[in-house]
A and B are shown apart, each in its own frame.
Chain A
Amino acid sequence: MAGETVSASSIQNPGSNPPPVNKKKRNLPGTPDPEAEVIALSPKTLMATNRFVCEICGKGFQRDQNLQLHRRGHNLPWKLRQRTSKETRKRVYVCPEKTCVHHHPSRALGDLTGIKKHFCRKHGEKKWKCDRCSRCYAVQSDWKAHSKTCGTREYRCDCGTIFSRRDSFITHRAFCDALAEETARVAASNMSSSVTSVRNGSLNFADGLMRSNVVQNFPSFLKPPVAESEMVDAARAGLSLWMSQAPPLETLTKADDLVLGDVDGDPFASQLSWIYRNKLVPSGSGELISSITLPTSGMEETEAPHSLLLSAPYHYSTQHHHHLVPPAPDTSATAFLQRAAQIGVTASRPTSEAKSPDGNIRYLNTNRSYSAANPGNAMENAADPLRMMYSTRHHVAQKDEGAGGETKDFLGVDAPTICASSLSGWIRIRN
């Protein structure tokens, strides 16, 4: 096609034979099948709407299927109707933006629509604007999906108040007594939560986890990740879902209606709600921990996560058990979050919680380098598990290539310490 710069290359040796039909196993997004053909399109071509051109009449189509349908109309002889063998080979696409993670073939994305959306979201202009709120989107389908839920969402604070506006919810939450209570309780129970040192292994493990969707069964919480677009769609809840965790938590003890921030159209949240509704998440015991088996797929180093798993749960059950039984149904939400926070404490964040002279906690924002925290700081890291848990959000958000910086990932990198009741602690909530 004229004007298009296409380079096709194989990740492996060009001379190797294509393998037999692959099982449909899902990898991390952006870790393509090594046998696939890498296509690098220019931004212009990527965004062109009619890439598929009929060789007979020159008419352009958005999708290959449409083109094929059209070609039938030309009454071609049978031979020419055949699809070329080239097309049986899987294609993966790289992002044209040089600075992007997905620019490198090893991180190519398998879906053309996916790479288009990615390019728009991350590197494109946000042309689509929501009428109700001020949100802007680069991809039309994102905007449509948002418009469906915008204004229909409710935000519920721990204290029970419901808000229809996010800004008033946030402002309320900042001053709400429920918040003060929650952190007070965490502070009280964080006495001796020690944390084993964080290592790169756990980072990668969690890295994988970040890309995975929330599970329906605990042992399989490393469920293969969904396609990127789905992830993004599933990630709409963000802060609201995270903050409105109170309702789902309450379903532990009372099977009321779930008021999740963004359940509809959100496969992520609906998986979450399934868990809660089925009361797989216990309200107070540490027993479930033993039933968790930690799959090793996706982990590059298995040592650290295992040790984390071992340490935290024991720790959890022995030292915090008495704190974890929620005193009353209406406080179970906070207790739950608190428990989750403790589990989530085995975090990767190498923040040293050195208290500054004026009593405020300083963070070392080391961003991408998840290098091991000093063992000496491990204790301090755990000192405020809630903070750790929440503060890993933005780190994880950086790793998310889906929604152009708007995502918030509640999970952080504490996956190994997963236990049933810490589900909320690491479930990734995206915007």
Chain B
Amino acid sequence: MQNTDPYHRHPSISCLLEPKDPREEEKWAAELIQECAKAIAEKDSSKIHHLLWMLNELASPYGDCDQKLASYFLEALLCRATEAGELCYTTLTSAAEKRHSFVTARRVMLKFQEVSPWTTFGHVASNGAIMEAMEGESKLHIVDISNTYCTQWPTLLEALASRGSDTPHLRLTVVAMVSMGGSVMDEIGRRMVKFARLMGVPFEFHVVSIVSTLGQLTEEELGLRKDEAVAVNCVGALRRVSVEERDAFMRMLCALRPRVVTVVEEEADFTTSRGDLVACFEQCVRFYSIFLGMLEESFSPTSNERFMLEKECSRSILGVLACNGSGVCERREKASQWCERLTEAFATTAFNDDVIGDLEALLERYREGWSLVPAKGDAAGLYLTWKAEPVVWASAWKPIKP
């Protein structure tokens, strides 16, 4: 049956997809995906086939948000259905690594930061917390476990250089997964060193390569020195620690006796539901449809950088939904969940007024739709919201004195 009209429903499934109101028509992808997930959970193979077929017909990575969503989740569903997730993920990862280069990473990252505060929000908040915690210190050591390729640091270097009092010595230790590409990190390091020189900030750069999982990171590998003030910067990092190792990881961080630990994470819960396929799919669909929608509205329609980010998304989705065992998967947790873990060893510190001011000024520079909301209740820190949905969470922590 040949039809390319996205709103034409296959007769056998049309009953599932009766649009309740005009706006629901737009959310066809989410519905289809959910139904398919359900079918997989129920092991209803004919239904699975029908839905996969439909999704396949309608999906396109070059289409609108729904079509993209369909496209990326289709792969995950397929892998889940055929239990080929791990293999698929590995293949995608190695393909990504081959494509990966300093130039592309830089281009994508910088462009993303230009059009969206998704990452810069966390950077500004973290840098502010770090500057405050390190006030008066002359030897700083920042342990950076992030996924933003050191784009956070130039502005911090400038802030250090223009502090007015003595410029401290900064040591930056970046913890990188081998998958991020060693050559990329080396090149980044070179640029950082040069830039620090330009800024007049005494600087050292060091990369710690993790071969296995982030949870295996040890204090010794970080090479801390006695006379320095340590800050740990975790941007999109904690979610890359496998769920079972998270508490231990936080204890390890605490043992470093840092002045501050900055945590920036995306607001989604892929952890609680990890045993429940349908629930997990639901969470994922929800989060990624927000993310893809944000990307669509932030970038220009023909943006290559956006496309690359979307590809990265699809790999991530696959990792979350189709991979159960080891390997890098990014099981996000919500702020309240992270807070519960962190409060075991840390106490929250508030961002000062200057930082809040900086963040508000930051958001002013982007398109409409973004705002800053302080966390309430079980969670501490700040949320970045996109169209009233909290999407990114930033917080700062100090170790509780023993």
Interface residue ranges, A against B (CB under 8 Å): 129, 132-134, 136, 165, 167-168, 170-175, 179-180, 183, 238-239, 356, 358, 360-363, 365, 367, 384, 386-387, 390-394, 397-398, 404-406, 408, 431
User: Bound state CA distance, A391 and B161, in angstroms?
Assistant: 9
Given contacts A360-B193, A384-B197, A398-B164, contact A171 B202 (CB under 8 A): no
Is B286 interfacial (CB 8 A cutoff)? no
Q: Is the CB of B202 within 8 A of A179?
A: no
Is B354 interfacial (CB 8 A cutoff)? yes
Which residue of chain B has the shortest Cβ distance to A135 in the bound complex? B361
User: Bound state CA distance, A239 and B360, in angstroms?
Assistant: 22
Selected contact of A165 from candidates B157, B166, B198, B365, CB within 8 Å:
B365
Query: Smallest CB–CB gap between A35 and chain B, Å?
Result: 34
Q: Can you identify 16 A-B contacts, CB atoms within 8 angstroms?
A: A134-B362, A167-B124, A167-B155, A171-B110, A239-B162, A356-B204, A365-B138, A365-B167, A390-B198, A391-B197, A392-B200, A393-B161, A393-B200, A394-B161, A405-B163, A431-B162
User: Bound state CA distance, A173 and B157, in angstroms?
Assistant: 12
Residues of A contacting B192 in the complex (Cβ-Cβ under 8 angstroms): 174
Residues of B contacting A386 in the complex (Cβ-Cβ under 8 angstroms): 197-198
User: Bound state CA distance, A75 and B241, in angstroms?
Assistant: 84
Q: Is the CB of A171 within 8 A of B113?
A: yes
Selected contact of A367 from candidates B151, B154, B166, B193, CB within 8 Å:
B166
User: Bound state CA distance, A408 and B168, in angstroms?
Assistant: 16
Query: Smallest CB–CB gap between A126 and chain B, Å?
Result: 9
Selected contact of A167 from candidates B120, B168, B205, CB within 8 Å:
B120
Residues of A contacting B197 in the complex (Cβ-Cβ under 8 angstroms): 183, 361, 384, 386-387, 390-391
Q: Mark B386-397, 1 if CB is under 8 A from A, else 0.
A: 000000000000
Closest 7 CB pairs of A and B: A405-B164, A363-B202, A391-B200, A174-B154, A134-B361, A174-B195, A387-B197
Given contacts A175-B191, A392-B200, contact A397 B169 (CB under 8 A): no
Is B203 interfacial (CB 8 A cutoff)? yes
Query: Smallest CB–CB gap between A361 and chain B, Å?
Result: 7
Selected contact of B204 from candidates A129, A180, A358, CB within 8 Å:
A358
Q: Mark B179-214, 1 if CB is under 8 A from A, else 0.
A: 000000000101111110111101111100000000
Q: Is the CB of B190 within 8 A of A239?
A: no
Query: Smallest CB–CB gap between B123 and chain A, Å?
Result: 9
User: Bound state CA distance, A404 and B362, in angstroms?
Assistant: 23
Q: Is the CB of A134 within 8 A of B354?
A: yes
Is B358 interfacial (CB 8 A cutoff)? yes
Query: Smallest CB–CB gap between B198 and chain A, Å?
Result: 5
Given contacts A174-B191, A360-B193, A362-B202, contact A406 B361 (CB under 8 A): no
Given A171-B113, A362-B204: 9 more A-B contacts, CB < 8 Å: A133-B361, A174-B192, A362-B202, A365-B167, A367-B166, A390-B200, A393-B199, A397-B164, A398-B164
User: Bound state CA distance, A167 and B158, in angstroms?
Assistant: 10
User: Bound state CA distance, A397 and B204, in angstroms?
Assistant: 23
Query: Smallest CB–CB gap between A412 and chain B, Å?
Result: 9
Is B97 interfacial (CB 8 A cutoff)? no
Is B325 interfacial (CB 8 A cutoff)? no
Is B114 interfacial (CB 8 A cutoff)? yes
Q: Is the CB of A360 within 8 A of B199?
A: no
Is B153 interfacial (CB 8 A cutoff)? yes
Given contacts A132-B361, A394-B161, A397-B164, contact A168 B204 (CB under 8 A): no
Q: Is the CB of A365 within 8 A of B195?
A: no
Is B165 interfacial (CB 8 A cutoff)? yes
Which residue of chain A has the shortest Cβ distance to B361 in the bound complex? A134
Q: Is the CB of B193 within 8 A of A404?
A: no
Is B246 interfacial (CB 8 A cutoff)? no
User: Bound state CA distance, A353 and B254, in angstroms?
Assistant: 35
Which residue of chain A has the shortest Cβ distance to B360 in the bound complex? A134
Query: Smallest CB–CB gap between A160 and chain B, Å?
Result: 15
Residues of A contacting B365 in the complex (Cβ-Cβ under 8 angstroms): 165
Is B219 interfacial (CB 8 A cutoff)? no
Chain A CB within 10 Å, residue with most, of B153, B165, B194: B194
User: Bound state CA distance, A257 and B202, in angstroms?
Assistant: 36
Q: Is the CB of B194 within 8 A of A183?
A: yes
Chain B CB within 10 Å, residue with most, of A168, A386, A392: A168
Which residue of chain A has the shortest Cβ distance to B167 in the bound complex? A394
